[in-house]
Chains A and B, each alone.
Chain A
């Protein structure tokens, strides 16, 4: 994902809130500190489909924002 970002493509990583520190640190390590992290509530595993949809609903506006910022 870091490589896609460096190539100028729209790229983002879905990250549960518990993993945000790791995600932020990794983005810096890979040289893309501005890599967008789409924050969703933890956990991601062991969810029924309704809870998965809730995560998608949390991530979607953040993704659209990333896309719009790139386009502008």
Chain B
């Protein structure tokens, strides 16, 4: 392993500027190295502290981030994590998320460069999420919680600063989404009536995982009235079934993030997660007639001719390709709300477990602390 000191001697590794906070902010914004908000200056001392829980070689790339295909080395990612406000304990989770996003099925290039407003939604499961303080309760998709804010922000800064996802040249989003600042949640496993996502996917319960989804911002489902599973799901299905969703055209894996109270009502009606997915697949549909004439002709009759060439206008259009493609999690606090999260469509979620260098699952972040 190259020493950190040696790496910092490489040409361009260090840049000097006035250490006044406002001057640093101005400097980083002028270089295009911020997300527009103030950042913590990534001094060598801070970067070194950020790497305190990194058991990788600091200069070994864990992912290539398009469109520049920049090497996401721990030292580079650590600089972005410092800027984002991460604690060193968060750092292995930032790295894990980037590794997951680099899996081919995620389509990182497409999600970075597209005009669609997608961004990585990070869903954490397992004990480490709770240990480092990733919020899974009230306001889970909102502000206030450092781990949620900083981990998602660090990922976004890495996508910009290492991958060159620069609006208008590398990130061609027409409008983007506020979720591009951060979109990081933990599943509220303690208040779930079902197995958590990582267990459903075949990971041991004691594993700590991240699932990355190329997501839009969340769409709220308000239902204070329904008393039954079918009632809640009817309201969810109505929120899902929209003509402008990429998932109606490109499949993909949208996310239903039940609030715990809605989940309890649905599970209380005897429904499993698989039942929920099947029910919503069948009911979150729109008749073909709801789309524009041009959309029907071009998007359905020609591009999906096998299914729609001669289909009558009352033919149901499903909002994703297969029932099991829907990702169902429980997150958030008290209240009669759930969230629907559509995706880029041409992407699959990727899930990775946090492991030590010897391949063993990490059960506590302290296992990764460097001597």
Chain A residues packing against B (C-beta within 8 Å) = 18-19, 21-22, 25-26, 29
Contact A25 B69 (CB under 8 A): no
Chain A residues with CB under 8 A of B67: 22, 25-26, 29
The answer to whether A25 touches B113, judged by C-beta atoms less than 8 angstroms apart, is no
A22: which B residues are within 8 A, CB to CB? 67, 113, 169-170, 172
Q: Are B172 and A29 in contact (CB under 8 A)?
A: no
Residues of B within 8 A of A (CB): 66-69, 113, 164, 168-170, 172
Query: Is there an interface contact between A25 and B172, defined as CB atoms closer than 8 Å?
Result: no
**With a CB–CB cut-off of 8 A, which chain B residues contact A25?**
67-68, 164, 169-170
A30 to B308, CA, bound (A): 38
Report the Cα distance A18→B113, complex, angstroms.
Answer: 13
When distances are taken between beta carbons in the complex, the residues of chain A under 8 Å from B170 are 22, 25
User: B340 CB to closest chain A CB, in angstroms?
Assistant: 25
Residues of A within 8 A of B169 (CB): 21-22, 25
Can you list 11 residue pairs at the A/B interface with Cβ under 8 Å?
Answer: A21-B168, A21-B169, A22-B113, A22-B170, A25-B68, A25-B164, A25-B169, A25-B170, A26-B67, A29-B67, A29-B68
**Judging by beta carbons under 8 Å apart, are B69 and A29 in contact?**
yes
When distances are taken between beta carbons in the complex, the residues of chain A under 8 Å from B66 are: 29
User: In the complex, which residue of chain A has the Cβ closest to the Cβ of B171?
Assistant: A22
Residue numbers in A under 8 Å from B172 (CB-CB): 18-19, 22
Contacts of A18 in B (CB 8 A): 172
